[in-house]
Amino acid sequence: MVVEEINWMAGGPQGSGVDSAANIFGRACGYGGLFVYGRREYHSNIKGLHSYFHLRVSKHETLANVNDVDLLAAFDAETVVRHITEVVKGGGIIVDTEHVNTRIFEIPPLPPEFKQEFRQFLNNKGLGDNLSELLADAEKNGVHIFKVPYMQLLEAIAKQLQIQQISKITRMINVLTIGVSFALLDYDPELVERAIKAIFADKPKVVDMNMIAFKTAYEYARNNLGNKFGRRLEKAEISEKRIFLSGNQAAALGKVLGGCRVQTYYPITPAADESEYLEAHEIFKTQDGQGSIIVIQTEDEIAAVNSVSGAAMAGARAATSTSGPGFALMVEGLSWAGNSEVPIVITYYQRGSPATGLPTRFGQSDLRFAIHAGHGEFPRIVLASGDIQECFYDAATAFNYAERFQVPVIHLIDKAMANSSQTYKVFDASPAKIERGDMLDPSRIQGGSYRRFLFTESGISPRVSLGTKGAVHWYTGDEHNEVGHISEEPSNRRAMVDKRMKRLELIDKEVPTEEKLNIFGDKDSKNVIVSWGSPKGAIIEAMELLAKEGLSLGFIQVRMLHPLPKAYMADLLKNREKIIDVENNYLGQLGGIIKEETGIQANYHVLKYTGRPITTTEMYNSLKNILTGKAAERQVLTYGS
Amino acid sequence: MALKMTDFKTDVFADWCPGCGDFGIMTALQMAFAELGLEQHRYVLVAGIGCSGKEAHNVRVNGVHTLHGRTLPFALGIKIANPELEVIAIGGDGDGLGIGAGHFVNMGRRNLDITYIIHNNGVYGLTKGQASPTLQLGLKTKALPKPNINEGVNPIALAIVSGYTFAARSYAYDVKHLKDIVKQAVQHRGLAFVDCLQPCPTYNDINTKEWYAGEDRKDPKTGKPQPRLYKLEETGFDPIVHEAEQDFAKKMAGIEKAREWGDRIPIGVFYKNQLTPTFEDRITQRIPFYRSAPPCKQKISDETGKPIADLSEFFEELKTS
């Protein structure tokens, strides 16, 4: 049976090539005209702990993950144990013949909490601790178990490559499982070979090794596993050009487009990939030749944010990227930039907080921190993207906001976008524009009279870069007069605070509503969801499923979280029956902010803080319960390993 | 018309205590900038927090009065974005060697072509006299409740081991010497550090102007004070690395000199190496057009406001169809 959609999951120890496997799989599907949504989950660890990639492949655009796994490619026994319950009836598990008799509780990396829960699970099912019993139970429930002799295949590959030690090619297990998977799915092997060639384009030897491994496994599965697996993946004919990219990459592209020419960072998950990608592409094409972005790895986040202020004052568009712990260190610098009206951009990739939290997992618990960080009162903009494509456009727009309003802009992304990858039609750069705000034309400068903080009606003082002839000027973190010199005079103080703070009203007035929020679904429904950030995909997909059942809903995705478009939101939210706040935190932070700003309170909260994103399946179930009056006001979701 | 020192003065009232070394440093900066011959807008004075930070407002060049300890990161961003600017970072000893010590060391790894001047008076003046990182162990300056429990850090030695390619010391009350050292530091191709000794007339009652002048150790024969400071350049000391092979020995010689303290304190240049590539050189190796099109000068949009970055090569790499 040809299927519309396949959920493929590859899992194994960190460092065993889970990412490359997902990359090959995703590309091969992309070449076949299919859409892919891929989510990467990994421990804060270099080698050995469990990681997995869940790829949802479909003929239609996919925006999020679902609970189901159709085909699980297990590099090791732990993957089977951790994910076996996710595999659907009629689905399959690819497992190493040698792993079948593993004693589950002897798998070294399994943490005590997991073991305790899993023991309970096995007891309830009346199963022993041998993996074979678990597999047999799954088989009884309609899951196909594909036992593949990994070592035997590796030996065959080693022979072809004339390699003596098998240990040198055990990393090929990832490609073995790809070969088996695509044979089971009856997918065109040429597309897979093309993916391997593209991914390792600069490493011909690696291409050769992977090709041999892939072919060996593909042939093996063809000859030995037959067509037991009933699901076939077929390619689709498409004419449009598509890309497959992560949120980290999309934000980087947005920065290049938006004119960012200096980026600083201190290594932190899940932000650093963006900076590394930029550094690898530090020279790029422009319409009139070449441009460049200088990426500097600073000694800490304090240096990162303050050097961005330096570069911005010198006239370059500049940004830094970080996550919660790094942003915490940037806070004094943020306050300085706010006080000095310096247009900086901070790309803030949220992960599981507080403290070190869940360094490689997902969370949305830093919204209030982003809005309130910094001593004192100063204007800022907090923007949040809801998907990978929005990361691209928002990363570019952030600089326009920063320079037009002369405020720091915090662009919130999160791990569920940063490390997920998705297929898109090539981004259309044509709507993008560059708006640098009120830059003083050097010819308008009259000798020696320039005032960086000139009082104007709008509160915006015309800007020049450090080094502009005839416009020597001053900045200070102290309260200052129009010239930029220190002033503690009460009247000046009041005027300066007013000048800065009324910027929030200006932003509210001048930024078009459509840039501040998106509205989906039935606008006039009596029931409406409010959310922000990465739950967007699961919400939209769940709404589509519910609409088919005649359950209507509206969805307000807030993109500008500060200043919140409160008047408009109050109008949108009035007279609704059910307001459902969906967020990945404990407090329902957006819900709280909406209440503060509009007086309107969400009456349902769907929250999740396990470090894993909300799936479409979970979202659907949860919304359906709310709409049919079967749900509690506060629902905490927990799906996912 | 050649610029004069007065062209580098502002009308901002200098609010330091009478007799503060900051007056001398401010004057030396104004003189050095005038003699270096660049117009005011070509300089950026990046200052930290503390009494010395206010100097940024008293010199008529671009001034960026930053955060405590963060002068160097701000200076880094400014210089990277516009390498044509002469960037001079100034700050106190607590600012640079206490709260900002991480930046001090890491800046050395880059050899960015800027100057950093530390005002070294052994105390935190503006917060009323606590011990700074350069105050020696066991000393009890006026405002300390107990003698200093920490060792003092040696700024010159730290600069040399961190990778600064110019390390010098001067004295706030010897304005001419300081002016010459500042000029040399600015003209040095690479990261230049100046340790500027400076009495704090209000809180450091040990390393006073009189102490530096040696008034406590008069020559028994002549009855004249024997100044503690002496000039390295008058002793024939050669701090310059002429060939790469000399580097280690020159560093060691500079550090050895930096250890002298007490009755004989050297001022002048301890170490100077222009053979090490600057950070700007290193960027240029990777981005050949960096100097002609640094970040602040790159065109980012066309006349209609459309971005000019062409993403087609990025998309080509990411394409799946």
For residue B181, tell me if it sits in a domain: yes
For residue B219, tell me if it sits in a domain: yes
- Model pLDDT for residues B228-280, shown as the tens digit of each residue: 999 999 999 999 999 999 999 999 999 999 999 999 999 999 999 999 999 99
A440 close contact with B: CB closer than 8 A: no
Q: What is the mean pLDDT of residues A424-434?
A: 97
Q: How many CA atoms lie within 13 A of A9 on its CB side?
A: 33
Rounded Cα gap, residues B103 and B193, in angstroms: 13
Range of the structural domain that residue B122 is part of: 5-282
Please check whether residue B150 is in contact with residue B131, taking contact to mean a CB–CB distance below 8 angstroms: yes
Residue A449 has pLDDT above 90, yes or no: no
For residue B54, tell me if it sits in a domain: yes
Shortest Cα distance, chain A CAs vs residue B196, angstroms: 23
Pair type for strands A35-41 and A50-58? antiparallel
Q: Which domains does chain A have, with CATH numbers?
A: 5-224 (3.40.920.10), 245-425 (3.40.50.970), 513-637 (3.40.50.920)
pLDDT for the residue A309 = 98
- Model pLDDT for residues A156-175, shown as the tens digit of each residue: 999 999 999 988 899 999 99
Cis preceding-peptide flag for B133 (omega within 30 of 0):
no
Rounded Cα gap, residues A244 and A426, in angstroms: 9
Residue A442 has pLDDT above 90, yes or no: no
Question: If you average pLDDT over every residue of chain A, what do you get?
Answer: 96
Rounded Cα gap, residues A595 and A604, in angstroms: 13
CATH classification of the domain holding B130 = 3.40.50.970
For residue B294, tell me if it sits in a domain: no
Cα A394 to chain centroid, rounded: 13
- Tell me whether 0.95 is exceeded by the ipTM: yes
- Model pLDDT for residues B160-209, shown as the tens digit of each residue: 999 999 999 999 999 999 999 999 999 999 999 999 999 999 999 999 99
For residue B127, tell me if it sits in a domain: yes
Q: Is A524 helix (H, G, I), strand (E, B) or coil?
A: coil
Please check whether residue A603 is in contact with residue A552, taking contact to mean a CB–CB distance below 8 angstroms: no
Instruction: Count other Cβ atoms within 10 Å, centred on residue B157.
Output: 19
Q: What is the mean pLDDT of residues A558-575?
A: 97
Where do the H-state alpha helices sit in A32-161? 77-83, 112-125, 131-140, 150-161
Subunit contact A296:B54, Cβ cutoff 8 A: no
B66 close contact with A: CB closer than 8 A: yes
CA–CA distance from A1 to each of A148, A510, A636 (Å)? 23, 54, 37
Subunit contact A285:B289, Cβ cutoff 8 A: no
The pTM assigned to this predicted structure is 0.98
For residue B234, tell me if it sits in a domain: yes
Residue A572 has pLDDT above 80, yes or no: yes
pLDDT for the residue B203 = 97
Shortest Cα distance, chain A CAs vs residue B102, angstroms: 7
Residue A250 has pLDDT above 80, yes or no: yes
- Model pLDDT for residues A177-222, shown as the tens digit of each residue: 999 999 999 999 999 999 999 999 999 999 999 999 999 999 999 9
pLDDT for the residue A447 = 72
Give the model's confidence band at B56: pLDDT under 50 very low, under 70 low, under 90 confident, else very high.
very high
A chain contacts of residue B88, beta-carbon cutoff 8 Å: none
A275 close contact with B: CB closer than 8 A: no
Residue for token pair 């200043």: A563
Instruction: Count other Cβ atoms within 10 Å, centred on residue A81.
Output: 25
- Model pLDDT for residues A61-94, shown as the tens digit of each residue: 999 999 999 999 999 999 999 999 999 999 999 9
Q: What is the mean pLDDT of residues B4-24?
A: 97
pLDDT for the residue B1 = 72
For residue B264, tell me if it sits in a domain: yes
Give the model's confidence band at A448: pLDDT under 50 very low, under 70 low, under 90 confident, else very high.
confident
A478 close contact with B: CB closer than 8 A: yes
Reading the block at residue A39, the tokens are 């989510």
A433 close contact with B: CB closer than 8 A: yes
Q: What is the mean pLDDT of residues B82-94?
A: 98
Dihedrals phi, psi of A506, to nearest 5 degrees: -60, -45
Nearest to A298 among B46, B73, B293 (CB): B73
- Model pLDDT for residues B158-171, shown as the tens digit of each residue: 999 999 999 999 99
For residue B67, tell me if it sits in a domain: yes
A315 close contact with B: CB closer than 8 A: yes
Which 141-200 residues of chain B touch chain A by CB within 8 A?
Answer: none
Give how many domains chain B has, as a whole number: 1
Residue B85 has pLDDT above 90, yes or no: yes
Subunit contact A314:B77, Cβ cutoff 8 A: yes
B57 close contact with A: CB closer than 8 A: yes
Nearest to A472 among B61, B294, B301 (CB): B61
